Amino acid sequence: MRWNTYSEYLRRKYGMRVFRIGVDASFSCPNRTKERKGGCAFCDGTGSVAVYQRSGEGGFHHDSAYDRGVAESTISYDVDLKNQIEKGKRFLKRRYGAEAYSLYFQSFTNTYGSIGYLKKVYDEALGYGPFKELIISTRPDCIDDEKLSLIAGYKEKGVDVEIELGLQSANDDTLRYINRGHDTACYVEAARKIKEWGIFLSTHVILGLPGEGRDDYIRSAEVTSLYSDAVKIHNLNIAGGTRFADEYAAGKISLLSLDEYLDAIEVFLACLRPDVIIQRLISETPAHRLIAPRDFPDKSKFISLLEKKMESDGLWEGSFYEKT
Ligand code: SF4
């Protein structure tokens, strides 16, 4: 491939395929409070609950999208971590023949709690292992040295540790517009601290946010390259029950076409530090919650289109890195 694939990284590191078990430990998000006006403009309040953890998922009610209550009333999931992990193992084993797992605190902000509560939850879930990795998804404004010390400490227990951190864009005007509740400097400081504690860092970015273009993608690649070991790249998806759904319906925002997104991701990858692992290239919002885009291909077809495009343009991940 023309970029560093995550599957190859895992195979090299562990000598086998390793599968993530995504769990929802009932954390909330500091950005979804009334004071913060209900969270990121693209957030539909599901907190990215893993597909095998959901049941009874219904539609989203537009007027109640701005608090977590909507997710809890429309998605039911097993709050028992042991059951979630067992369910995840059964699903991954049945579907992929999985034999090795990582524990992935996936939903909402998984460092949003007291240090005592975080330790209790992480310890309990790790006890249902064995796991190769402990992966914790969170926000830049929700970590500090005490929490990072706790997380880094799990390495001594034989588990690799990773934090997934949302940046989304390195343009502060965009971050304000999407109501992220933090700026680029906050992300950079959090990323620096994470690396100081020797924790693997994966950064989330979205390409195609309203008002953004090539210069913004280059800037996001530069900022991601500062400290990240890996990146998850998303095309902007409009999900039901979000502020963006309103703005899209009113014609105030538009989305990148497939060709435009291929251009955007190519320039992002070319400007990225060449050793960054690529964990994701396209969003995968479940079809029943996705308003737009509805005409993108599935992941494997998209990867083959991107590979062909980069080949014909003579570009690789990191091709322009020196120049940036
Ligand atoms: S940080 Fe995540 S959970 Fe919180 S509002 Fe933004 S997208 Fe939603």
Handedness of CA 152, 157, 160, 163 (dihedral sign): negative
Contact 243, 205 (CB under 8 A): no
What is the number of residues in the chain?
324
Ligand 1 contacts CB of residue 43 (under 6 A): yes
Q: What is the DSSP string of 234-293?
A: EE--EETTSHHHHHHHTTS-----HHHHHHHHHHHHHHS-TT-EEEESS----TTTEEE-
In the reported structure, the alpha carbon of residue 41 is separated from the centroid of ligand 1 by a whole-number distance in angstroms of 9
In the reported structure, the alpha carbon of residue 29 is separated from the centroid of ligand 1 by a whole-number distance in angstroms of 6
Nearest residue (by CA) to ligand 1, atom 8, is 43
DSSP annotation of 170 reads S
Distance CA 13, CA 24 (A): 27
Ligand 1 contacts CB of residue 108 (under 6 A): yes
Nearest residue (by CA) to ligand 1, atom 3, is 108
Q: Which CATH number fits domain 4-312: 3.10.450.50, 3.30.2130.10, 3.20.20.70, 1.10.3720.10?
A: 3.20.20.70
Give the residue, out of 111, 138, 139, with the most ligand 1 atoms within 8 A of its beta carbon, to mutate for a pocket test: 139
| Domains of the chain by residue range | 4-312
Give the residue, out of 24, 33, 34, 40, with the most ligand 1 atoms within 8 A of its beta carbon, to mutate for a pocket test: 40
According to DSSP, the residues that pair with 204 across neighbouring strands are 166, 232
Q: Which of 212, 306, 218 is nearest to 270 (CA)?
A: 218
In the reported structure, the alpha carbon of residue 265 is separated from the centroid of ligand 1 by a whole-number distance in angstroms of 23
In the reported structure, the alpha carbon of residue 14 is separated from the centroid of ligand 1 by a whole-number distance in angstroms of 31
Ligand 1 contacts CB of residue 38 (under 6 A): no
- Written as tens digits, the pLDDT of the chain (324 aa) is 999 999 999 999 999 999 999 999 988 899 988 777 779 999 987 656 666 665 544 433 333 333 333 333 344 455 789 999 999 999 999 999 999 999 999 989 999 999 999 999 999 999 999 999 999 999 999 999 999 999 999 999 999 999 999 999 999 999 999 999 999 999 999 999 999 999 999 999 999 999 999 999 999 999 999 999 999 999 999 999 899 999 999 999 999 999 999 999 999 999 999 999 999 999 989 888 899 999 999 999 999 999 999 999 999 999 999 755
Residue 126: count of CB within 10 angstroms of its CB: 17
What is the phi/psi pair of residue 59, to 5°? Answer: -75, 170
Cα separations (Å) of 278 from 1, 15, 100, 203, 312?
A: 11, 19, 20, 10, 20
In the reported structure, the alpha carbon of residue 177 is separated from the centroid of ligand 1 by a whole-number distance in angstroms of 14
In the reported structure, the alpha carbon of residue 48 is separated from the centroid of ligand 1 by a whole-number distance in angstroms of 9
